[in-house]
């Protein structure tokens, strides 16, 4: 009898695991043709796959079933798949990118000095200026194009292919699907977004270098957005040296977990407040402006990136200091 029950349990577990695999086909929205070798992945993780020669794919979503799935392909805008079917194949349509390049395009044959200056500016904004960022190398810089808009102040950056970045400090190989990058020279404001896929392949196996990776990863993690949301999830801000207050208020009280976290009936958690928030981590200051009333976040540190505008220290943490959601701090 016990063996029979065990067999039933194992069969059920197999069914559950199998049902966590989604299937689909990637197509061009304009032509309805299939897209070969598109990337299907969870943003900010190691987990992903590619569509085959017929545009078909399978992806195991068991580890990140509550996170949206990203689909990216060369020459197309990335697509966020947050509603999908497990029981039948999903058809996903991608929109081709249209580059607004004109006669002021910067290329390797002309205006070489300007291209060099723009590339340096792009790296400082995109990768950051920390020691980790300076250790990053973009392996396909020739796929990066620059252009000004009509007011001659905003630098736009276009990438014809995903940017392949080797972070030599943290030991990651990164694929970044850049959808938009704009930098206003006069104000210094920058807006860029896209999606990131991590890989640890082809990094060093030497113990000394692995130890160095772990030290630098821990330094990058402490005080990061990932660290903050993980601490918030566990209602452990105080022991992790965080304080959340209302900015620009004299003698304001530290806000409690109950004041800033809403939990629904499915135990999903959301950051919410009726005002901007200031996050204090030791002497570092960061600021949150809400773009949505409720900002979804998870135990692993994932949060809805479209729900928040960041300023301050956490806003300065760019690609060179980002970690995959699989990262686990080692004491």
In this model, does residue 147 exceed pLDDT 90? no
**C-alpha dihedral sign at 51, 52, 57, 59:** negative
Q: How far apart are CA 64 and CA 49, in angstroms?
A: 14
State the average pLDDT over residues 107-134: 86
Q: How many residues does the chain have?
A: 331
Question: Average pLDDT in the 120-146 region?
Answer: 95
Tokens found for residue 158: 């276009």
SS3 2: helix
Q: What is the mean pLDDT of residues 109-117?
A: 77
16, pLDDT greater than 60: no
Q: What is the pLDDT of residue 237?
A: 98
| Confidence grade of residue 9 (pLDDT, cut at 50, 70, 90) | very low
CA proximity to 119, closest of 162, 152, 155 = 155
| pTM summary value | 0.86
Residue with tokens 């905003």: 154
Structure confidence by residue, pLDDT tens digits, 199-213: 986 555 566 677 899
Distance CA 274, CA 80 (A): 28
- pLDDT(109) > 80: no
Contacts of 75 (CB under 8 A, 6+ apart): 96, 97, 160
> Which range, of 62-76, 122-136, 190-204, 218-232, averages the lowest pLDDT?
190-204
Spatial contact of 164 and 140, defined as CB atoms under 8 Å apart: yes
pLDDT per residue over 150-201, tens digit each?
457 888 999 989 999 999 999 999 999 999 999 998 888 888 999 999 998 6
User: Residue 304: what pLDDT?
Assistant: 95
Comparing 232 with 105, the larger pLDDT belongs to: 232
Residue 85 confidence (pLDDT): 87
pLDDT in tens, 22-65: 999 999 999 999 999 999 999 999 999 999 999 999 999 999 98
């Amino acid at each position: 009898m016990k063996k029979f029950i065990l067999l039933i349990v194992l069969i059920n577990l197999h069914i559950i695991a199998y049902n966590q695999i989604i299937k689909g086909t990637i197509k061009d929205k304009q032509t309805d043709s299939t897209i070969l070798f598109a990337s299907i992945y969870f943003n900010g993780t190691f987990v992903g796959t590619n569509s085959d020669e017929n545009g078909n794919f399978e992806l195991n979503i068991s580890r990140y079933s509550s996170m949206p799935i990203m689909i990216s392909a060369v020459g197309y805008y990335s697509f966020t798949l947050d509603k999908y079917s497990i029981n039948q194949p999903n058809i996903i349509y991608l929109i081709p990118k249209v580059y607004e390049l004109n006669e002021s395009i910067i290329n390797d044959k002309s205006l070489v000095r300007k291209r060099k200056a723009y590339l340096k500016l792009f790296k400082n904004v995109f990768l950051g200026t920390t020691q980790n960022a300076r250790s990053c190398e973009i392996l396909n810089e020739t796929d990066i194009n620059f252009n000004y808009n009509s007011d001659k102040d905003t630098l736009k950056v276009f990438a014809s292919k995903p940017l392949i970045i080797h972070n030599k400090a943290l030991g990651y190989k990164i694929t970044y699907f850049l959808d938009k990058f704009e930098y206003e020279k006069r104000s210094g404001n920058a807006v860029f977004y896209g999606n990131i896929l991590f890989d640890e392949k082809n990094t060093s196996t030497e113990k000394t270098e692995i130890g160095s990776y772990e030290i630098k990863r821990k330094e990058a993690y402490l005080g990061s957005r990932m660290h903050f949301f993980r601490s918030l999830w566990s209602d452990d801000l105080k022991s992790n040296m965080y304080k959340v207050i209302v900015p620009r208020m004299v003698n304001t009280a530290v806000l409690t977990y109950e004041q800033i976290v809403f939990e629904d009936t499915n135990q999903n958690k959301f950051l919410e407040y009726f005002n901007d928030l200031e996050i204090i981590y030791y002497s570092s200051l960061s600021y949150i402006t809400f773009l949505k009333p409720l900002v979804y976040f998870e135990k692993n540190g994932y949060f809805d990136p479209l729900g928040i505008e960041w300023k301050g220290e956490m806003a300065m943490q760019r690609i060179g200091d980002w970690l995959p959601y699989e990262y686990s701090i080692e004491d």
